[in-house]
Structure 1
Amino acid sequence: MVPPHAHAHGPASPHPAQPAPWSILRMTGLSRLAAAIAVSAGLWAIVWLAMR
Structure 2
Amino acid sequence: MPDPHSYGHGHAHGHGPASPHPPQAAPWSILRMTLVSRLGAALAVSAGLWAVVLLAMR
TM-score tier after normalising by the smaller chain length: 0.7 to 0.9
1:47 to 37, 49, 53: 53
- How far 1:27 moved relative to its partner? 0.7
Alpha-carbon RMSD across the aligned residues, in angstroms, is 1.5
2:28 to 11, 22, 29: 22
TM-score by length of 2: 0.70
* Gap regions ≥5 residues in structure 2: 1-9
TM-score by length of 1: 0.77
* Gap regions ≥5 residues in structure 1: none
- Percent identical residues: 80
Q: Report the residue type matching 1:26 in the other structure.
A: R
